[in-house]
Chains A and B, each alone.
Chain A
């Protein structure tokens, strides 16, 4: 249909439609659209139809929106408005690539359209197409050199591309155009100055930065920041005397900021320890209530002086009753001398206080109140827990509880001790006790939920959280809505331990979606921050979003997802029925009948369970839908529902695993686990060069890592087993592997590894596993190595011993049930409280068996 030009009356209406859209007055906009379209002459007017669609989209009617927009576009393909609107729709649906295409089409039809250029620039910065962003910003600047945002946007483009010269030139030009009276403080101008200064500092222009901040400091709102910048720049320029003055003033403002102390030390450059301690002493006199000047010297001094200072520090804090005392001192616990001094001091206090209410029996003075003994015992429990002496820790905490059974911190600590021991049920029980003492405390409530999840008590954890989540929805859903990722990642681990892979994967995907949303949310701030001139915060936001998936929550979710997908690849679930069919051929008729009826019963049970779950889900969905209908129509997009059963029967688990892996490879390349997980995936995909890449990168981080060692051996074996690789690949492999293996045969490589790490159980375990892998006939020797518990072994802790026992169960050493029993008993003697080694069937035992799906079909059958 040819484009009909609108006469003046309709043309005005159209302009008003655009205004309504901008002002978010959607109902009015629709009214005006109707007025144009109801006229039969203009019923097919492309642009109006498109605008109607756009408005409908803002009201949540997405299907209709697309219909109208597409219709409008068909009617008027040469209209830049229609293309622009189509692009906006795509953008709202997060189809950014498509949106960019639409904008480019629109620009072809109207080269200098400001609005389209602006929208294009937003997409480009969202997708971090920095070069493209700069180009578009240049065009905007040329078209509208008088608009503030043009200059700022262009400057930011250069800043992000690290071209500091250009950025600073632009900012200075822009700053000069700002007419701000010198005595007035204008927040936006202040932010501009600070942003400009930040760019200078990033460009290492310290002299310029200092002069700049001194020139404009009267007009900056953030006075503290001004001082901090001055201090930093003076240090960088070597003007130490002035720097020390600045830092002294900063410490006067805030005596607890450690960065100021560091700055002061750098500025003063004092040689001897005494001089340094003198400074801290002076500051402490000036600020008697500050903790830092008393705490920081403890990091510096050794021996007798340490004892003297520590004695003072401890006494003051015990008398006062300072709960986080141990946490403040924890960072000293790498130094064995300091640990023994602390232990001596505090155990003496304890004995003395019990006898005569004084810190030392050789002193006189005011008696300490009974609470002092309480805090001393609490400290000692934490101290011995840190050192791994758990029964002693329990003694102290129980003594404290006996005297003060209402103090939450004590039960919290008791739970922690049990967690470290490895008895997770007991830990959850005591944490529950803690939270019951103050049910309005959400922190303890959350901790309790976490401990329950660690003990695989998922239902109970959900109930615990529901005491604080919104009414009307289930706790799981509400916590997902609130992006409560600590809970979700703990759930992932719990489900993984229980072997409920579908549920675990569902949570992994939920976490991934949160990260997607957080990345997506930055979109609106591209215009907003530039308008409000909060540029430093804006740059920080961009930089945060660039590395968002570096966060531990993503790493945990991704790691678990990859582990599960690898398991599902090795032992796919759908094939269970096939496996049982194969087995049935070897059974007699009677046994067959028995097995079939057992199967039928199991199937029926599973079906009922499915139906119940389905009904529950439907009911919840109905409730949700009701809620949604009652509230405003949302413009949120409907994500595909995550169904556990489907997720765990996915067809291509390795591809799914790679999706989780890629952000890790890009952002967490310094963590060796990223590369080792990558190896496991590529090993199963048979991609030799990618396997090579993974081990090379891992090797560069830590060549002695036990898991890496296992990967290297598997890799080398696999390469020698595959003789038909393309020439080029073989060439690359042989050249690069030379650097790692140095032409040793694998047995010697393994022997060297074992010799090099003779006192580390973790390493011995890996070496032993590989010994068996390379030569199954050496099973006895391999098990003997892995199960060593002699004195020379340094890391006989709960975690490592559990790892060894799991390896004995999961087939890494073949069939060895009797050796496992022996080992379990030996471990039990070493660690009597740990659940994993308790005799008879405990939950932890059977659950850890579930986690390690072996080729043993009996184990599989029990889990159904």
Chain B
């Protein structure tokens, strides 16, 4: 059963990076007292600026066209769905009732009402599930 001693956590900036070189010359520098590496320096470097890496390739056109096709299909499907929902008529009082009773946003309340074809009772029952 190992019992390790509690080590003081040194925070904020006072971290020393020990680069140990195995090349043992005639004189070795005295070992600096080690402090606990809290990783603060590494964390700082996360936000350092770095150049973005580039790809060497000439064959990007086919890939891009495939993507383009896909996207237009996605857009169309989404628009159709929205159109369907927009056709449903809903009443303002129903919308307000849902918002007050269920404490949800206007957008969420509206969506729920439209998905239940404007039937407020059904919408509420679904929302309480």
Chain A residues with CB under 8 Å of chain B are 22-24, 138, 141-142, 145-149, 151, 154, 166, 169-170, 173-174, 176-179, 323, 438, 440-442, 445, 468, 470, 482, 524-525, 528, 531, 631-632, 658, 687-690, 692-693, 696-697, 726, 728-729, 731-732, 735-736
Contact = CB atoms under 8 A, between A and B. Distances in A.
Given A169-B66, A470-B8, A731-B121, A323 B49 contact: no
Contacts of B50: 531
Contact of A729 (B4, B57, B101, B127): B101
Given A146-B55, A687-B101, A726-B97, A138 B71 contact: yes
A736 B128 contact: yes
A440 B5 contact: yes
Q: Chain B interface secondary structure, helix, strand, loop or mixed?
A: loop
Given A24-B48, A524-B47, A148 B54 contact: yes
A109 B66 CA distance: 30
Contact of B124 (A154, A179, A632, A732): A732
B70 A688 contact: no
B56 interface: yes
Given A689-B128, A690-B101, A732-B121, A323 B1 contact: yes
Interface of B: 1, 3-6, 8-9, 11-13, 46-50, 52-57, 59-60, 63-64, 66-67, 70-71, 94, 97, 101-103, 120-121, 124-125, 127-129
B101 to A, nearest CB: 4
A445 B5 CA distance: 11
Q: Which interface residue of B54, B56, B103, B128 has the most chain A CB atoms within 10 A? A: B128
Nearest to B61: A145
A179 B6 contact: no
B6 A688 contact: no
Nearest to A694: B128
Given A147-B53, A170-B63, A440-B3, 11 more contacts: A141-B64, A176-B57, A177-B57, A323-B1, A442-B6, A689-B127, A692-B128, A693-B129, A728-B97, A728-B120, A732-B125
B108 to A, nearest CB: 13
A163 B80 CA distance: 19
A531 B50 CA distance: 9
Given A442-B6, A631-B12, A689-B102, A24 B63 contact: no
A531 B49 CA distance: 11
23 contacts: A23-B49, A142-B64, A147-B55, A151-B55, A169-B63, A169-B66, A174-B55, A177-B56, A177-B57, A177-B60, A179-B56, A438-B3, A440-B5, A440-B6, A482-B9, A524-B47, A528-B46, A531-B52, A728-B97, A728-B120, A735-B121, A735-B125, A736-B125
B57 to A, nearest CB: 4
A660 to B, nearest CB: 15
Given A440-B3, A470-B9, A524-B46, A693 B128 contact: yes
B106 to A, nearest CB: 16
A689 B54 contact: no
Q: Chain A interface secondary structure, helix, strand, loop or mixed?
A: helix
A333 to B, nearest CB: 24
A689 B101 contact: yes
Contacts of A693: 102, 127-129
A100 B52 CA distance: 24
Given A166-B70, A441-B3, A692-B128, A148 B46 contact: no
A487 to B, nearest CB: 15
Contacts of B49: 22-24
B54 A146 contact: yes
Contacts of A658: 103
A693 B13 CA distance: 51
A158 B54 CA distance: 22
Nearest to A21: B49
A728 B94 CA distance: 9
Nearest to B49: A22
A208 B70 CA distance: 22
A180 to B, nearest CB: 12
B127 A148 contact: no
Nearest to B98: A689
Contacts of B1: 323
A179 B103 CA distance: 55
A690 B13 CA distance: 50
Given A148-B53, A524-B46, A173 B63 contact: yes
Contacts of A726: 97
Contacts of B12: 631-632
A24 B50 CA distance: 12
A632 B128 contact: no
Given A440-B5, A732-B128, A148 B55 contact: yes
Contacts of A151: 55
B52 A148 contact: yes
A530 to B, nearest CB: 9
B6 A445 contact: yes
A732 B125 CA distance: 6
Contacts of A178: 55
B116 to A, nearest CB: 12
A70 B86 CA distance: 41
Those 6 A-B pairs whose CB atoms lie nearest each other, nearest first: A693-B128, A442-B6, A177-B57, A440-B5, A22-B49, A689-B101
Nearest to B125: A732
Given A323-B1, A442-B6, A696-B129, A145 B64 contact: yes
Nearest to A632: B13
Contact of A728 (B9, B47, B121): B121
A687 B12 CA distance: 49
A375 B129 CA distance: 54
Contact of A688 (B48, B66, B94, B101): B101
B121 to A, nearest CB: 6
Contacts of B70: 166
Contacts of B129: 693, 696-697
Nearest to A735: B125
Contacts of A736: 125, 128
Contacts of B53: 147-149, 531
A801 B46 CA distance: 55
Contacts of B59: 177
Contacts of B52: 147-149, 531
A147 B3 CA distance: 51
A166 B8 CA distance: 50
A166 B68 CA distance: 11
